[in-house]
Chains A and B, each alone.
Chain A
């Protein structure tokens, strides 16, 4: 993921529309992807907008302690979680839980290991069937720069939880892919 340069960031803080546009273009794709994975296509655009409104409003407070991309994705994570909470309040249907069940380890047969369109489609379907927190961790981890620590900070949880959740998510994805 590309990062904005210091000068553009400075202009963003001063509300320069061109710089804000660059920030938006730079991070729209990952934010949209995360939103679509987490809340689905219908609400993804809303999450995207809410995220950027929050980002633009607080960009002046960004202290540079983390990468800008991590900071933006942390805001997007919070907006996604807020949407999911709202949806849970409206919808009583139970979300698949992330119980610490011992997933039997499933391995991909060599034929699956090609990253072809079919595989990606099935992986996307499998990801949609994951519990929220597993989906969130896998989605955030898809952005190569997000370390466990950064994911933990974005999701407001412990680093060990990220490690375990990501592992469980991968096991479950493998199970879905093999069982397809």
Chain B
């Protein structure tokens, strides 16, 4: 249905109509209205003349500048080539760094997974061992009673053995024991030591698993005893 000729569309709408920037329904209604409204048709015609004139002006050829063109293109091509080469270089660098990181991480992960077994195996293979000879509770006159681990450490290797940490565990719990700063077993030496932990006045040796773990510079040494 068209708008009566007496009800005109706003000139702003005719401007948008000319540019095809109105919804189809509105556009169709306005097209209908044009047939019966000479004043709206005159507005549209005026806008059309201006638009066509502007389009024609835009067709004017631009002055040519062959030397400028050649220089501009040559410089730009060189810049693009340099930028592409830098990008390619960065891409390769990134790729190499990624490969190194991934390889490093994989190696570290693998090492972490295999190390305990490997070092224990290495320690075993090198004939270094710890033997938990016995566990007992000793009562002294002055000091409180203590749970004692009698241990023999044998270094059958050609290198000296440094003991870094000693951890004892028993049915009462796990405890790290202090170690003398230079607990060192020379090659071929067999050392007997007592590692102890204080216990309560009335403590008794409970049945269960008693374990000693020595952390050495080469790995771990473990032995255990089961008290029935």
Interface residues of chain A, those whose CB is within 8 Å of chain B, are 13-17, 20-21, 24, 28-33, 45, 48-49, 52-53, 56-57, 59-60, 105-108, 112-113, 115, 119-120, 123-124, 127, 138-139, 141-144, 147-148, 163-164, 166-167, 170-171, 173-174, 177
Name which residue of chain B comes closest to A177, CB basis: B50
Interchain CB contact under 8 A, A142 and B11: no
Return A23 CB to nearest CB of chain B, in Å.
Answer: 9
User: Contact size class for B?
Assistant: 35 or more
Q: Give the residues in chain B near A33, CB-CB below 8 Å.
A: 57-58, 60, 62
Interchain CB contact under 8 A, B58 and A49: no
Contact of A124 among B12, B57, B73, B74 (CB under 8 A): B57
Whole-angstrom CA separation of A20 from B57 in the bound complex: 26
* B15 interfacial contact with A, CB 8 Å: yes
Return A155 CB to nearest CB of chain B, in Å.
Answer: 15
Q: Give the residues in chain B near A127, CB-CB below 8 Å.
A: 54, 57
Return B165 CB to nearest CB of chain A, in Å.
Answer: 59
Whole-angstrom CA separation of A16 from B73 in the bound complex: 9
Given A107-B42, A107-B43, A167-B12, verify A119-B53 contact (CB < 8 Å).
yes
Interchain CB contact under 8 A, A32 and B73: no
* B76 interfacial contact with A, CB 8 Å: yes
Interchain CB contact under 8 A, A57 and B21: no
Given A123-B57, A163-B12, A167-B12, verify A108-B72 contact (CB < 8 Å).
no
How would residues 1 to 33 of chain B score, 1 for a CB under 8 Å from any chain A CB and 0 otherwise? Answer: 000000000011001100101000000000000
Q: Give the residues in chain B near A17, CB-CB below 8 Å.
A: 73-74, 77
Interchain CB contact under 8 A, B79 and A170: no
Interchain CB contact under 8 A, A139 and B58: yes
Q: Which 7 pairs from chain A and chain B are nearest by CB? A: A15-B80, A32-B62, A56-B76, A142-B58, A167-B15, A142-B54, A123-B53
Return B140 CB to nearest CB of chain A, in Å.
Answer: 83
Interchain CB contact under 8 A, B21 and A148: yes
Interchain CB contact under 8 A, B76 and A108: no
Q: Give the residues in chain B near A166, CB-CB below 8 Å.
A: 15, 19
Whole-angstrom CA separation of A147 from B20 in the bound complex: 9
Whole-angstrom CA separation of A110 from B18 in the bound complex: 18
* B84 interfacial contact with A, CB 8 Å: yes
* B49 interfacial contact with A, CB 8 Å: yes
12 inter-chain pairs at a CB distance below 8 angstroms, sorted by A residue, are A14-B84, A17-B73, A17-B74, A24-B73, A29-B60, A30-B58, A49-B72, A115-B52, A115-B53, A127-B57, A142-B57, A174-B47
How would residues 38 to 59 of chain B score, 1 for a CB under 8 Å from any chain A CB and 0 otherwise? Answer: 0000110111011111111110
Interchain CB contact under 8 A, B57 and A21: no
Interchain CB contact under 8 A, B55 and A144: yes
* B68 interfacial contact with A, CB 8 Å: yes
Interchain CB contact under 8 A, A108 and B46: yes
Return A135 CB to nearest CB of chain B, in Å.
Answer: 10
Interchain CB contact under 8 A, A108 and B73: no
Whole-angstrom CA separation of A168 from B57 in the bound complex: 19
Name which residue of chain B comes closest to A34, CB basis: B58
Interchain CB contact under 8 A, B60 and A141: no
Whole-angstrom CA separation of A123 from B55 in the bound complex: 11
Interchain CB contact under 8 A, B16 and A163: yes
| Additional pairs, 7, CB under 8 Å, beyond known A29-B60, A52-B72, A113-B46 | A20-B76, A45-B65, A108-B46, A119-B49, A163-B16, A167-B11, A170-B50
